[in-house]
Structure 1
Amino acid sequence: MDFTFSEDQLAFRDSISRFFMTEAAPEMLREVWETESGRSPELRAKIAEQGIGGLSVPEEFGGMGLGDVDWALLLQEIGYYALPDSLIDTVYVAAGVLSALPAGHAARAQWLPGIADGSIRVAVGHPINPWVADAQQANLLLLPHATCQGLEVHAVLPSQCTINPLKSIDTSRRLYSVEWTATPQTCIAAGAQGQKIWDMAVNRGALGSAAQLVGLAQRMVDLSVDYVAQRKQFDKVIGSFQAVQHHLANVVTKIEFAKPVLYRAFYALQHGEIDADTRVSHAKLAACDTGWFATRQSIQVHGAMGYTWEVDLQMFMKRAWVLDASWGDRGYHSARLSQSLLLDANPPLGPGSTFDRLASQGAGNDVASVNAVNSNSNSNVAEEATA
């Protein structure tokens, strides 16, 4: 498969990278963290000017109507700069949920133009994400309600909820518990349609986290390279020691192996392949492994000071830790992946036979099996919120 990105995609990635390099430097992020809301309206407005909000919004509502693959590079950049905002929940996950509603649905015309121009913030909840990011700052909350037919999609206003703040080990995350009551008036998609929309939202959220983890891993490598090029022991920079070089080279290897898995998942999601769930879970697991490995090796070469507030590494390290459990922890995605692996006595060989497509199709619609794993995921997310 050709994973070569177009010149336009690469140019857009480069322009966004230059923008974040100026507008989201570590010293600026620290200032945003210390505000009461932890968010910068000025930065959000500048991001909207770059056109990021309209990438997934259909053209009829002021967006560009691009596909999932177009997010693959951009999300890595958002991770690389540890953007202090739940931007992805609004412009990628929520935009996808609202765009998936039937043509002519009132919610599409009501909310999608605001996402495209960056004037509104949408918070998204899900059983695998019980704590809702930026719920208090949101103009709209998209929340699930479980029924015997599947998860319903509800569009709820903040005034219809009781929102309580929670703490996260990542200071840039603003998490909240949300208490609300489902009503026919708030329901915008029910039954099989609602479940299908939420299944797609889970995949988009998981891929968003996975791509950011790959970007974070690259940032931690770059910070570590800069550090070991300056830090001296025995009158020599520690970057000249072979053991240190091997630590960082191993991280780079992990990153390069995770990228094609990630890109393959974006492609599967965009083209509606029957094994998209499997591809997404594979990508999330590979990215989680890469993120954790990058944090361990970066701390190893920084020493204990890497944990301290004064060192930039801790900003990216903490974000990698929390994204590991975002939109499904390892247990959740391992369960989805195991349902699709071929474990016959005589399995077919070759890259095209790694996953059983028919099994994936059934597993992707098995609501009961997903809900069974959700209970395990909730405990991990709760640890983040109470850390």
Structure 2
Amino acid sequence: MRFAFTDDQKMLRDTVREVLQRECPPEVVRAAWEGRHEGAKAVWSTLAETGLMGMTASEEAGGMAMTALDLVLPLEETGYAAWPAPIVDTVAVGIPLLEAAGTEEQKERWLPAAVAGRIRIVLSFEGQDVVAHAASSDLLIAERDGAAFCVPMAEVTVVPEQSVDRSRDLGRVSFDVGPRSRMRQDIDAGALLSLARDRAALGTAARLIGLSRRMLDMAVQYAKDREQFGKPIGTQQAVKHRLANALIEQEFARPLVYRAAWCLATSAPEAPTAVSLAKIYAGQAAQFVAKQALQVHGAIGYTIEYDLHMWMKRAWALAAAHGDAAHHRERIGRQIL
């Protein structure tokens, strides 16, 4: 079997890429680091106009009924740009979960706004009460004691937390667990929440692939531009080896992410294992590429004034998000033994 993305899937990727190249330069990421999120929110509005926010909603809900396989390339592009926004929480996980598990009242209030891109959703799974972008979002979907809750952020207490990536705006969330915010109880919440966790891990893996690509591109360009002894440092064999090894790590991880997206899109029985493999290798690749890119740049790569550090710190943060490598290795072990 020959696997390839369709022309429509690649066209959607190109549309997202063009918007991010135009509206999410490093200055927007840097502004988010400084607590100024206007630029990132403007990108959200522009992408909402393309229909990206409604990709995973059903046609009845005003969306396009697309799958994880359709979404994986656009998410990769958001990683490449290091766009500081809860795109995975909202589009890959939040909207499908709200549509499947929300009460009629919850869906009427929140689903059309989410599909249109007027609100941002964040997630808090069991044991994960530290949430990225909590203070700048509108709705929290949370798992507590095996049940799902849909809580307006106005009713959530958010205590700011420090993060290695300051553009992610971490906060520890808490709320009153009550019947008004509880989502439907006449469904298999455990199965839906398990699927939601897989979608979150896959979306994060896709963003990590994008981050790896960008860091490698930065390192290659620097190796071409930086000269020592009258010639670019990229002509040195040791530098070439670092860059080649980084490319190998990235290219090995990428098909695992695409395979996991296909497994989720087709409800393949091996989907949980495929997702865990994708998250492990995408995280490892991003961390390896970050290390090699920093070595190529030298000390300047870690300075606050240079853009590379923002991509490296995003990679470190996302490698741990929705399960680090140790978590997913243990998960694979439970699935296959």
TM-score, normalised with respect to structure 2: 0.95
| TM-fit CA distance, 1:106 | 3.3
Partner of 1:375: none
The percentage of aligned residue pairs carrying the same residue is 37
Partner of 2:334: 339
RMSD between aligned alpha carbons?
Answer: 1.8
Q: Does 1:159 align with 2:158?
A: no
CA distance in 2: counterparts of 1:41 and 1:288, whole angstroms: 26
Partner of 1:121: 120
1:38–1:172 Cα contact (<8 Å) kept? no
| Aligned-partner SS, 1:172 | helix
Q: Bigger shift: 199-208 or 21-30?
A: 21-30
Q: Does 1:18 align with 2:13?
A: no
Partner of 1:140: 139
Partner of 2:250: 255
| Aligned-partner SS, 1:340 | helix
Partner of 1:189: 184
| Aligned-partner SS, 1:115 | helix
| Aligned-partner SS, 2:172 | strand
Change (3 A) 1:191 1:291: farther
CA distance in 1: counterparts of 2:310 and 2:135, whole angstroms: 23
Mapping 1:92-107, distance limit 5 Å: 92-101=92-101, 105-107=104-106
| Aligned-partner SS, 2:293 | helix
TM-score, normalised with respect to structure 1: 0.83
CA distance in 2: counterparts of 1:319 and 1:60, whole angstroms: 36
Residue identity opposite 1:119 in structure 2: R
Residue identity opposite 2:224 in structure 1: A
Q: Bigger shift: 318-327 or 247-256?
A: 247-256
Structure 2 gap segments, 5+ residues each: none
CA distance in 2: counterparts of 1:5 and 1:110, whole angstroms: 35
2:158–2:173 Cα contact (<8 Å) kept? yes
Residue identity opposite 2:241 in structure 1: H
1:268–1:276 Cα contact (<8 Å) kept? yes
1:89–1:122 Cα contact (<8 Å) kept? yes
CA distance in 2: counterparts of 1:158 and 1:28, whole angstroms: 24
| Aligned-partner SS, 1:142 | strand
| TM-fit CA distance, 1:20 | 0.6
| Aligned-partner SS, 1:77 | helix
| TM-fit CA distance, 1:135 | 2.1
Partner of 1:302: 297
Q: Does 1:284 align with 2:279?
A: yes
**Bigger Cα Rg:** 1
CA distance in 2: counterparts of 1:59 and 1:110, whole angstroms: 18
Partner of 1:269: 264
2:19–2:46 Cα contact (<8 Å) kept? no
Q: Bigger shift: 156-165 or 7-16?
A: 156-165
Aligned residue-pair number: 337
Partner of 2:75: 75
Partner of 2:86: 86
CA distance in 2: counterparts of 1:130 and 1:38, whole angstroms: 26
1:134–1:175 Cα contact (<8 Å) kept? yes
Change (3 A) 1:26 1:36: closer
1:129–1:326 Cα contact (<8 Å) kept? no
Structure 1 gap segments, 5+ residues each: 342-358, 360-387
Change (3 A) 1:191 1:243: farther
CA distance in 1: counterparts of 2:18 and 2:154, whole angstroms: 38
CA distance in 2: counterparts of 1:128 and 1:4, whole angstroms: 37
